Amino acid sequence: MARPRVACIVGTRPDTIKMAPVILELQRYSDRVEPLVLSTGQHREMLDQALGTFGIRADHDLEIMTHGQTLAEVTSRALVGLDRWLGEVQPQLIIAQGDTTTTFVASLAAFYRQIPFAHVEAGLRTPVINDPFPEEFNRRASSLVASHHYCPTEVNAEQLRLERVPSEVIFVTGNTGIDAVHYVAQHEPKEWFAEHSGRILMLTTHRRENWGAAQERISRAFRRILEAEPDLLGVVPMHRNPVVREVLERILGDHPRVRLIEPPAYAEFVKLMQVCRIILTDSGGIQEEAPAFGIPVLVLRETTERPEGVAVGTAKLVGSDEARIESEALTLLRDPAAYTKMAQATSPYGDGRAAPRIRYHALRLLGMESPEEKSWTPSKPSF
């Protein structure tokens, strides 16, 4: 009897990292299911890099990435290619993660083909549909057709209940990003800037809502922080988008204590996070990952779909206001009590066992039993 096929769809570095533990877990049970990995190639080099970190190879690659393409072009090319592939392999279940255009397309293709769609990292929300853009729309649209919703926290699950998603298809699993961090943290450490005896401050910024003037303010604030604290080394892993790079290189490129670097492989990036004093970022994944190592995060956004970290104190929203970014960073760098309060706050995002819980429920959806993980439900933050 043929094994049921599970299509695991990835397209960018972040969703690949968070899908990798799920793929590896399904591969452990390949005697019962046949996991197939499709890459849309939405982010080319960074996606391949992430797959390699976990020893995963795509079974098929749509290779949709072209220079300067619009969101409409990404969506249409991915949808046509994915629909054609689904028709060929005929999976019994489709799984995708998060809020990328690839994930939205996977949910839409599943709906058109009437194939059950399981959404990893479900239930994250901000108050408005275009912040962040286009991610907030992508995650809301994916929820409309999902047959299973794998939520990182009880806050996310409650949000889905408020949207009238049936409780029996909502599962609190923890965040697979924590699984991924634990996996790569076991690797041999890379020596990052061992010659620098002072503290390290990291900046990552790439979201569309921060392009242009907002990114200029962020970059100027980062430079001012470095000038105020002479022992700091500023490290900036630069997104490959030329719109992002132009601003970072223009404002920070000539500073003697700034290192503008290429995006490290994921395992190396985890090691880089571990040597940082604090991190300034607009990345959703880093909001989850850094607290696992006790590193405070200043979030360069006005809203976040990860309010649990803000609620328990592992992260703080600072937006793109130049003066506020500088003030909040210098407080953490100069006030030991303020730093300790954030660094020692307990991460609300999971115990590193989300993938086995997802595998258990996914196999049950296909009519098969496998070892069950004990349920994990974090204490619900009060807002």
The catalytic residues are 99, 121, 135, 206, 208, 239
In angstroms, the CA 281 to CA 275 distance is: 16
In angstroms, the CA 193 to CA 66 distance is: 34
C-alpha pair distances (Å), 276 with each of 18, 235, 269, 306, 322: 22, 9, 11, 21, 21
C-alpha pair distances (Å), 15 with each of 10, 58, 374: 6, 14, 25
Q: In degrees rounded to 5, what are phi and psi of residue 30?
A: -70, -10
Helix axes 322-334, 336-343, angle to 10 degrees: 90
Q: Taking a C-beta distance cutoff of 8 angstroms, is the pair 244, 215 a contact?
A: yes
Query: Any bridge partners for residue 37, and if so which?
Result: 8
Helix, strand or coil for residue 269?
helix
- Which DSSP letter does residue 196 get? -
Q: Which residues of 334-347 are buried (b: 16+ CB within 10 A; e: fewer)?
A: eeeeebeebbebeb
Helix, strand or coil for residue 66?
coil
Helix, strand or coil for residue 364?
helix
Q: Taking a C-beta distance cutoff of 8 angstroms, is the pair 114, 36 a contact?
A: no
Residues near 318 by Cβ (< 8 Å), separated by ≥ 6?
280, 298, 299, 300, 324, 325, 328
- β-strand pairing of 278-281 with 315-317: unpaired
